[in-house]
């Protein structure tokens, strides 16, 4: 008996000595004398070869105990349940701590309690609890005393002693400062510190930063968390961590835990056990797991399940952005606002607005000043304020927030020396304007090839060494070649490329030369000819419909858009004109300027009398001078030259004049 007891004690001693602490992983227990020959394996491993004592890892993730033959999972890790259809251990859904399937909890997380049928959250200030009324621990800022949660006296303190005046742990992002024992406080750490010992000394960093031993450094995207500059530990949304680096989730996954397991899906898909599948309803953004019921239609659609066998997302009628049915708006597209019952258009210059008086943005050429749109001042094309241009009208360029005029020969430009187009007669070479050939308005990069000559010129490139823009010859006003007109002088019309005569006194006519579109001024078209307007019409549209009046008549029409009503002038309407009704000297005939021939004769007679008087006076003066001074004064006539010898003597001696035969003619007249 003692022998067997001793043997059992020895075996127990050996088992204790060769337990998990003395075996190499993944052995849980191992043979005497060897750390690597396993008798049993740790969770997630099974004894693959008992004779060799080797453990193999379960092929099912999150499995604690698996079948060595079929490799099926027999027991999942805590917090997981076994899905036999897929031979997978699926995570229990919160708030289950353990579960038998997706919907059946066996125990609850500490933050919940079991009410007999489900997990119910603990009620604050309980952080953990055993039932509705019994706390096990308290939320931050409370301390536990006699089964009750009470307030800490120090603000931003997570955990305080039972005396509630000393903080053991401040909120994350705060540090404890008891330098003033009478007023200990929790002070905030400076960003991006997550925890700190004082205002300037970080001990850990917020997400997207890592602690390099001295300070917080930013992680490089797409890392969400990292341990150093090159080592990610988790990734931002739409990426997953593959153990060494961040990999992007592939559509239709939006978020995922690995290459094949989605946690959320793109629009129009629903999540089914880590896989994204199509909703059955067209234009549905989000559908239930049964994929036949739409929870959210695309923007601009409303859900209609009036026919349960065929639910649909129907388009909202414009200008609805969202609606409860096609005709009942709940919000509006841009350029409209919702007045509570329907969509109303924003009034220009508002582009978008919240109501009829409140603009949110403005049309081009206006800027938003508070809730009002004000016009940009030229040469600004667009602006953000009265003195802040963002783009300029043509022929100006933007210099900072100011528009400056392009300098010729630039027509348009982006800077003082940077042309983008040129004035007529120049072409763009890079950003510089250079001369085309003479009389050329537009040429390509080859200045010798004119695309458009100036009006009245045509391109002649027959001599490649000397291409020219040559002047069109009358009756062409514009032409494409010497004998090919494209427009004609007044009184001609274009027939193909030839200019032909319109009817007499016609300025413009169509291809029918017998029909005039515009007669000479003072003429009107009367079926087949241009006839002169009859007085008192100066211009007219027909023989008795005046458009303007001749001199000494005025337009008595009161409406400027009406035909002219020509009436004789009087003092009230044209006081500076000679009225035909008031002049006693008015003859029947009139000169072209409107004066009578009698007036003209009187003026001419008066002029002749003045001229004769001047001549008589001049002769008398000469006679007086001869009599007083003697014969030294001379005067020239058509037959005599007069000599003035000096200022004292006037010589009236006739100068000799050559006669037709070459002799001198000394006769006086």
**What pLDDT is attached to residue 646?**
41
Same domain? For 508 and 419 the reply is yes
- Separation CA 235–CA 144 (nearest Å): 37
The last residue of one of the domains, among 542, 572, 600, is: 542
562 is a domain residue: no
368 is a domain residue: yes
The last residue of one of the domains, among 542, 575, 590, is: 542
**What pLDDT is attached to residue 616?**
65
To the nearest 10°, the Cα dihedral for 399, 402, 408, 409?
Answer: 40
More confident residue, 604 or 559: 559
435 is a domain residue: yes
> Lowest-confidence range among 11-25, 44-58, 125-139, 312-326?
11-25
> Lowest-confidence range among 16-30, 419-433, 499-513, 594-608?
594-608
**What pLDDT is attached to residue 620?**
55
Full-model pTM: 0.42
Residue 445 CB neighbour total at 10 angstroms: 10
Same domain? For 512 and 390 the reply is yes
**What pLDDT is attached to residue 340?**
92
**What pLDDT is attached to residue 294?**
92
The band of 502, judged by pLDDT with boundaries at 50, 70 and 90, is: very high
Same domain? For 357 and 478 the reply is yes
**What pLDDT is attached to residue 558?**
85
To the nearest 10°, the Cα dihedral for 262, 268, 272, 277?
Answer: -90
**What pLDDT is attached to residue 398?**
96
pLDDT digits (tens, 9 = 90+) for 286-326: 988 778 899 999 999 999 999 999 999 999 999 999 999 99
- Separation CA 187–CA 176 (nearest Å): 6
Q: Is the pLDDT reported for residue 612 higher than 70?
A: no
Q: List 359's β-bridge partners, or say none.
A: 353
Burial of 308 (0-12, 13-18, 19+ CB in 10 A): exposed
Closest by Cα among 383, 546, 115, 320 to 555: 546
* Burial 225-241, CB ≥16 within 10 A → b, else e: bbeeeeebeebbebbbb
Same domain? For 636 and 535 the reply is no
Same domain? For 537 and 632 the reply is no
pLDDT digits (tens, 9 = 90+) for 654-667: 434 334 334 444 43
**What pLDDT is attached to residue 284?**
94
79 is a domain residue: no
- Per the structure, the count of domains in the chain is 2
The band of 456, judged by pLDDT with boundaries at 50, 70 and 90, is: very high
Same domain? For 537 and 626 the reply is no
254 is a domain residue: no
Task: Read off φ and ψ for residue 619, nearest 5 degrees.
Answer: -65, -40
Residue 667, CB half-sphere, CA atoms under 13 Å: how many? 4
Same domain? For 367 and 470 the reply is yes
The band of 652, judged by pLDDT with boundaries at 50, 70 and 90, is: very low
551 is a domain residue: no
Residue 301 CB neighbour total at 10 angstroms: 23
- Separation CA 581–CA 593 (nearest Å): 17
**What pLDDT is attached to residue 503?**
92
- Residue 523 to residues 415, 506, 508, 515, 556: CA-CA distances in angstroms? 54, 8, 12, 14, 21
- Residue 583 to residues 163, 372, 594: CA-CA distances in angstroms? 125, 66, 13
Range of the domain at 638: 622-669
Q: Is the pLDDT reported for residue 331 higher than 70?
A: yes
Residue 387 CB neighbour total at 10 angstroms: 10
pLDDT digits (tens, 9 = 90+) for 243-287: 989 999 999 999 999 999 999 999 999 999 899 999 999 999 998
Please give the average per-residue pLDDT across 87-99, as a whole number.
91
Q: Is the pLDDT reported for residue 591 higher than 50?
A: no
Residue 131 CB neighbour total at 10 angstroms: 12
**What pLDDT is attached to residue 579?**
46
- Separation CA 103–CA 95 (nearest Å): 11
Closest by Cα among 573, 577, 581, 534 to 555: 573
Same domain? For 644 and 538 the reply is no
Same domain? For 536 and 649 the reply is no
**What pLDDT is attached to residue 528?**
87
557 is a domain residue: no
170 is a domain residue: no
**What pLDDT is attached to residue 70?**
61
Q: List 562's β-bridge partners, or say none.
A: none
Same domain? For 389 and 481 the reply is yes
Average of per-residue pLDDT values in the chain: 83
Please give the average per-residue pLDDT across 469-495, as a whole number.
92
The last residue of one of the domains, among 486, 507, 542, is: 542
Q: Is the pLDDT reported for residue 405 higher than 90?
A: yes
More confident residue, 455 or 653: 455
Please give the average per-residue pLDDT across 211-224, as a whole number.
93
**What pLDDT is attached to residue 252?**
94
pLDDT digits (tens, 9 = 90+) for 537-560: 999 998 889 999 999 999 998 888
The band of 20, judged by pLDDT with boundaries at 50, 70 and 90, is: low
Same domain? For 510 and 420 the reply is yes
Name, in order, each residue with C-beta under 8 angstroms of 178's C-beta and a sequence gap of 6 or more: 166, 184
pLDDT digits (tens, 9 = 90+) for 152-188: 989 999 988 877 888 999 998 999 999 998 999 999 9
């Amino acid at each position: 008996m003692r022998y067997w007891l001793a043997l059992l004690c020895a075996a127990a001693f050996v088992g204790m000595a060769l337990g998990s602490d003395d075996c190499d992983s993944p052995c849980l227990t191992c043979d005497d004398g060897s750390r690597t020959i396993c008798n049993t394996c740790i969770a997630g491993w099974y004894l693959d070869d008992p004779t060799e004592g080797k453990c193999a890892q379960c092929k099912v993730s999150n499995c604690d105990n698996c079948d060595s033959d079929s490799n099926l999972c027999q027991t999942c890790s805590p917090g997981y349940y076994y899905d036999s259809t897929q031979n997978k251990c699926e995570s229990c859904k919160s708030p289950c701590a353990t579960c038998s399937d997706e919907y059946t909890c066996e125990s609850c997380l500490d933050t919940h309690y079991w009410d007999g049928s489900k997990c119910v959250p603990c009620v604050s200030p309980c952080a953990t609890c055993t039932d509705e009324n019994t706390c096990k621990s308290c939320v931050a800022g409370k301390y536990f005393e006699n089964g009750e949660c009470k307030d800490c006296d120090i603000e931003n303190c997570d955990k305080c002693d039972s005396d509630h005046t000393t903080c053991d742990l401040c909120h994350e992002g705060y540090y404890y400062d008891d330098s003033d024992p009478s007023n200990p406080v929790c002070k905030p750490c400076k960003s991006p510190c997550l925890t700190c010992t004082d205002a300037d000394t970080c001990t850990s960093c917020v997400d997207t930063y890592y602690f390099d031993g001295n300070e917080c450094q930013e992680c490089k995207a797409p890392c969400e968390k990292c341990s150093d500059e090159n080592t990610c530990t988790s990734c931002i949304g739409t990426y997953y961590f593959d153990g060494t680096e961040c990999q992007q989730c592939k559509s239709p996954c939006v978020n995922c835990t690995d290459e094949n397991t989605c946690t959320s899906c793109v629009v129009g898909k629903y999540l089914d056990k880590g896989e994204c599948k199509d909703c059955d309803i067209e234009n549905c953004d989000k559908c239930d797991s049964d994929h036949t019921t739409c929870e959210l239609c695309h923007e601009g659609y409303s859900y209609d399940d009036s026919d349960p066998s065929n639910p649909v997302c129907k388009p909202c009628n414009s200008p609805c952005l969202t609606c409860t049915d096609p005709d009942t708006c709940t919000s509006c597209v841009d350029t409209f606002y919702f007045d509570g019952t329907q969509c109303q258009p924003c009034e220009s210059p508002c582009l978008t607005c919240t109501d009829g008086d409140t603009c949110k943005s403005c049309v081009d050429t206006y800027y938003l000043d508070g809730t009002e749109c004000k016009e940009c001042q030229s040469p600004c094309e667009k602006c953000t304020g009265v003195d802040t241009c963002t783009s300029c009208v043509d022929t100006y360029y933007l210099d900072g927030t100011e528009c400056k005029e392009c300098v010729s020969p630039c027509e348009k430009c982006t800077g003082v020396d940077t042309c983008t187009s040129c004035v007529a007669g120049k072409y763009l070479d890079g950003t510089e304007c250079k001369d085309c050939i003479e009389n050329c308005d537009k040429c390509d990069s080859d200045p010798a090839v004119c695309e458009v000559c100036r009006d009245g010129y045509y391109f002649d490139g027959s001599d490649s060494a000397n291409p020219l823009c040559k002047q069109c010859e009358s009756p062409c006003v514009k032409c494409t070649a010497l004998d090919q007109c494209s427009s004609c002088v007044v009184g001609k019309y274009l027939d193909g490329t030839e200019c032909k005569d319109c009817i007499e006194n016609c300025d413009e006519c169509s291809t029918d030369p017998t029909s005039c579109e515009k007669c000479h001024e003072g003429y009107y078209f009367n079926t087949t000819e241009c006839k002169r307007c009859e007085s008192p019409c100066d211009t007219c549209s027909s023989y008795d419909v005046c458009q303007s009046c001749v001199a000494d008549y005025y337009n008595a029409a009161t409406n400027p858009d009406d035909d002219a009503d020509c009436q004789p002038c009087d003092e009230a309407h044209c006081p500076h004109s000679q009225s035909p009704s008031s002049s006693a000297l008015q003859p029947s005939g009139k000169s072209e300027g409107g004066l009578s021939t009698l007036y003209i004769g009187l003026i001419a007679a008066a002029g002749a009398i003045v001229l004769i008087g001047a001549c008589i006076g001049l002769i008398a003066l000469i006679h007086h001078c001869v009599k007083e001074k003697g014969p030294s004064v001379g005067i020239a006539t058509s037959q005599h030259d007069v000599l003035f010898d000096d200022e004292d003597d006037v010589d009236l001696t006739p100068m000799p004049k050559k006669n037709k035969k070459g002799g001198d003619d000394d006769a006086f007249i």
